[in-house]
Structure 1
């Protein structure tokens, strides 16, 4: 309820209107039986036709007011439940944007999707019932009990005798449903995870003809979800028949007692008719309360899962939380940097130190797992260092506004990521107001202009997962996207791996012209991509084992010599 109340305060006026409409509904439901009792006991018994018509007019008026109140109640409930759920989803999405890699790994993609979609939907369903019944139930219950007691104290004892059975049943159902709801949501996460893996990995699955195994995995997850859902539905389906059984039992007992009272002259027929209506409203109000009470455990499970996202403290915290404008970056210094992943035991990087200045290109090379990508991911603060410091213009990177820092960086990841939409949309991702001329210039530098024109221009749509462009084209579009932004720092994380040697050479030549006033950091597997770098850092098992130019490293670094020998022919080595 704490989560719901924190959002409800933004809709005070609509909630007040919801309260007002509840009383309109109660007026109809409780007012009409009372008037009908008067019509029977006075109008029918005394054959007072004028009174009957008069009360009929009152019933018509109350019905119109009640109808308006019921419609208004439905509108308020729908508006409040959908608006609050929308706000929760928006806030969850905004919160996840603040997460570092650690939080994404901790929650998992499937879990975050389930919490944003299904868990939020469970909250919405509960809110719709809650706003419809939370106030109506006590108003109807109190009003009905007062009128029941007023109509007949003796008959009221029958109703009071059934209430304890209902309450005990509700408590049992609620405890059981909470456990089942938690398991149901976990199994839904399992389904989402398997579905995501199958969709993204369909080519690998088909290549290994592993369709049957994947179908079995999905069937197991789906069957588990079905099992928990079936148990929940069975549990809930028992409550309504049990309620009607108790109500009918109470009704039979009341008719039997009332027949004796009418025969003895202690009860009028009109009173009995009104009493049975009041009985229905008392029992129905209690059932609505039970429904809310039974739905609460499922909503509570979802609310706890959502609250965990809101309570998560990002490992990478913003220094100021203000700003956002790009900053000038003249130099970046790694000062004895050590880094270990939050869930790792050993350091991935150990005592790394170097400085790169504006207009310089620094490259990183080494065997797989040597820490190259990890190192450059520390610059935009995907993670924070475990030891040492990263300095930007002599200032600790953790003291700089995070948005300003990232707005000053053009990051081209190892796996080129394009979004659904046009090519222009993707190129404008880092600069929304980029002109056509800026996009064309960036595309030409990235060696992407020709194939963009061949495909039909910048308005051509990129399909989901960018299946209509090749790996090399994806990389060039990613590079063009960073170039459009014109940042202070360019980070290339093995961003030339899918390019042929000819395109690679052209691209590097053009980049050298355009990026002469920027800091350029390059991770590469191919020596030909970094031969012209001002400084090359050779990494091995997280440590710097060599630093210098291409020629210097060929003379002084054994590991670099081994890499060069495996990639360059004898003539190239002799020339170098």
Structure 2
């Protein structure tokens, strides 16, 4: 937590501490002043003193309220500001993560750390800013003033304080592990819920709704039972505190009444002692409540710090080379790449080059390494061996922003963002005009946009869920075209298109890519027949390189792919 709290504004924290200190000082003098009023009125009958002290008490109460409101508001703003900064830092960090970095945490836990964990940190920060000074001061000074007023009753604290401390320690011992486990079970709950939400169609298609409901009920009930146990223990603090306060008041009044009856104590002093005793016990309760929330926040802080401290595996070099004003080219030099913990490379000994105006197609079976090559071009992965060069510069020696500014990317799963069609089309080129957007949509064969009542202002739901798979792919392709890149990467982004639309789209693309390098990753032969060179991959290795006609005549694996898809028909 201290590492997180270093991000607080030190000046504002100092002001909050000063306000809380002044609030505590005013709060502490009120019982003594009340005692003086009672003593003056009951013994001396001095109404003037009563009015004077009563007026001072009223002003002190009003000032205490103002200080409390001001410090509470400042504490709330500072704790919320801390949460705001942490969320920004985590989001920026995650955006810089490679796929490898993200896989170390998992999507569901990153979401939990950005929301639930930071909320826990905000809550404890708010409580700490208010109570870390207020409660100890009130507790210690109240105990001192109580003893100063009536040392004959101070023995009550020797009975009640050890009891309440013992009870809190016992509760803390059992509740702390439960609160720690709640965080992990929150991750698990979010993970199962997210899987069910994203896999709704598959769940319904396989008629496994009941199975998924039972699966969710299992983790949900596990979370509920743990939370019930943890918060039941937490809820026991109040009954213990009230019971202790009640017992202490009974002991104080019983003994105080005897002292008053023999003239050894004034009535006002008894009332002041009771108020100070309540303040001592309530301060202990506040500190104990903070101590219960603190372990959960500590776990949250560890999880947030783990994300912020994670070294980004792919970063910009200190002295980056420029990719501008150089001849466009893409070259793979004996590139190998393997996932962490894998037995073999995902792609191995990949060597080829591409020049402006050329289309490079990559074809192969599932798991052959096609998308891995695309990810190496965009530097979502770094080569384990060899080098990937863009414009003659190793991509590891260039800034990632400069590299990706050259690339227009269309993934297999057409990922769209909530907003409008226009906002999605401008994602890669914020300055794109409506004419450029309509042209890109025409090239991408996204004619359905013309039929939408709102046209470019048509609403796009989260993930583009209000469009079909083929429509999302065409919008994704149009978005890549709008950015007018030097390098196009179509990562199996024609897979949801019918053969006729596929052929029309590729024909319309040719004029758009005459000066660019185009990568087409596909599993269908029809999609790659017009490519200048085709890479045939099998188990991560190039087993064929050439044009369609060359591979058709000389490459057995390519011939097998044709036969399996076309059943011996000519293409």
Q: Distance in 1 between matches of 2:230 and 2:152?
A: 39
Is 2:450 aligned against 1:453?
A: yes
What displacement does 1:169 show? Answer: 3.0
Do the aligned partners of 2:175 and 2:230 also contact (CA within 8 Å) in 1? yes
2:43 to 21, 45, 63: 45
CA pair 52-520 structure 1, distance change in 2 beyond 3 A: same
Q: Using the alignment, how far apart are the partners of 1:272 and 1:362 within structure 2?
A: 92
SS in 1 for 2:379: coil
Cα distance in 1 between the residues matched to 2:218 and 2:325: 52
Asked whether 1:210 is paired with 2:226, we answer no
Query: Shift of residue 571 of structure 1?
Result: 6.0
Q: Which runs of 5+ in 2 are unaligned?
A: none
CA distance in 2 between partners of 1:498 and 1:320 (Å): 42
CA distance in 2, matches of 1:395, 1:160: 77
Asked if 1 retains the 8 angstrom alpha-carbon contact of 2:321 and 2:399, the reply is yes
CA distance in 2, matches of 1:103, 1:225: 28
Corresponding residue of 1:72: 70
CA distance in 2, matches of 1:94, 1:381: 18
Deviation at 1:160, TM superposition (A): 4.0
Q: Is the 8 A contact 1:319 1:402 kept in 2?
A: no
Partner in structure 2 of residue 485 of structure 1: 483
The runs of 5 or more residues in structure 1 that have no matched partner are none
* Separation (CA, whole Å) in 1 of partners of 2:27 and 2:461: 56
Structure 2 residue aligned with 1:2: 2
Deviations, residues 536-566 of structure 1 (Å, cap 9, x unaligned) = 1111111111111111111221101111223
Q: Of residues 106, 130, 133 in structure 2, which corresponds to 1:132?
A: 130
Indicate yes or no: 2:489 matched with 1:498: no
Distance 1:567 1:210, change over 3 A: closer
The separation in 2 between residues aligned to 1:164 and 1:408, in whole angstroms, is 70
Cα distance in 2 between the residues matched to 1:288 and 1:255: 25
Aligned match of 1:108: 106
Superposition map of 1:320-469 within 5 A? 320=318, 330-448=328-446, 450-456=447-453, 457-469=455-467
Deviation of 1:353 after TM superposition, in Å, equals 0.8
CA contact (8 A) 2:321 2:398 kept: no
Structure-2 residue corresponding to 1:89: 87
What do residues 86-113 of structure 1 show as CA deviations (whole Å, max 9, x unaligned)?
A: 2111211111111111222221111111
- Note if 1:307 corresponds to 2:308: no
The CA deviation at 1:516 is 0.9
Q: Assess if the C-alpha contact under 8 Å between 2:322 and 2:398 holds in 1.
A: no
The alignment of Structure 1 onto Structure 2 pairs a total of residues equal to 570
CA shift, 1:164, in A, is 3.0
Q: Is the 8 A contact 2:333 2:352 kept in 1?
A: yes
Q: Call closer, same or farther: CA 1:324–1:503 in 2, change over 3 Å.
A: farther
Bigger mean CA deviation after superposition, 435-444 or 475-484: 435-444
Distance 1:54 1:379 in 2: 82
Secondary structure, in 3 states, of the residue corresponding to 1:490? strand
Partner of 1:535: 533
Distance apart, 1:252 and its partner CA: 2.2
Which residue of structure 2 lines up, in the alignment, with residue 282 of structure 1? 280
Tell me which of 223, 227, 230 is aligned to 2:225. Answer: 227
Give the deviation of 1:569 after TM superposition. 6.5
Deviation per CA, 1:158-182: give whole Å up to 9, x if none. Answer: 2144333333333333332221112
Q: Give the deviation of 1:329 after TM superposition.
A: 6.2
* Residues 373-417 of structure 1: CA deviation (Å, up to 9, x unaligned): 111111111111111111222322111111211122111111111
CA distance in 2, matches of 1:322, 1:358: 24
TM-score normalised to structure 2 length: 0.95
Matched residue, 1:296: 294
Residues 287-335 of structure 1 show CA distances to partners (whole Å, capped at 9, x for unaligned) of 1111111111111111111111112122222224989997866111111
The one of 23, 33, 36 equivalent to 1:35 is 33
Answering whether residue 513 of structure 2 is matched by residue 515 of structure 1, we say yes
Q: Distance in 2 between matches of 1:247 and 1:324?
A: 73
Question: TM-score, with normalisation over the residues of structure 1?
Answer: 0.95
Instruction: Determine the C-alpha separation between the residues in 2 that align with 1:224 and 1:22.
Output: 41
Q: What is the CA RMSD across the aligned residues, in angstroms?
A: 2.0
Contact 1:327 1:405 in 2 (8 A): no
Given that residues 177 and 298 in structure 1 are in contact (C-alpha distance below 8 angstroms), is that contact kept between their aligned partners in structure 2? no
CA separation of 1:323 and 1:123: change in aligned 2, threshold 3 A: farther
Instruction: List per-residue Cα deviations over 1:505-549 (Å, max 9, x = no partner).
Output: 221112111111111111111222211211111111111111111
Alpha-carbon separation, structure 2, partners of 1:39 and 1:75:
33
Q: Residue by residue, what CA displacement relative to the aligned partner does 1:482-506 show, whole Å, maximum 9, x if unpaired?
A: 1111112111111111112222122
Q: Distance in 2 between matches of 1:137 and 1:329?
A: 69
Q: Could you tell me how far apart the structure 2 residues matched to 1:478 and 1:462 are?
A: 12
| Corresponding residue of 1:526 | 524
- SS of the residue aligned with 1:267? coil
Distance in 2 between the 1:466 and 1:538 partners? 32
Give the whole-Å Cα distance in 1 for the aligned partners of 2:325 and 2:241: 67
- In 2, the alpha carbon distance for the partners of 1:484 and 1:24 equals 62
Preserved CA contact (<8 Å) 1:178 1:301? no
| Bigger mean CA offset, 154-163 vs 60-69 | 154-163
- Check the 8 A contact 2:120/2:297 in 1, yes or no: yes
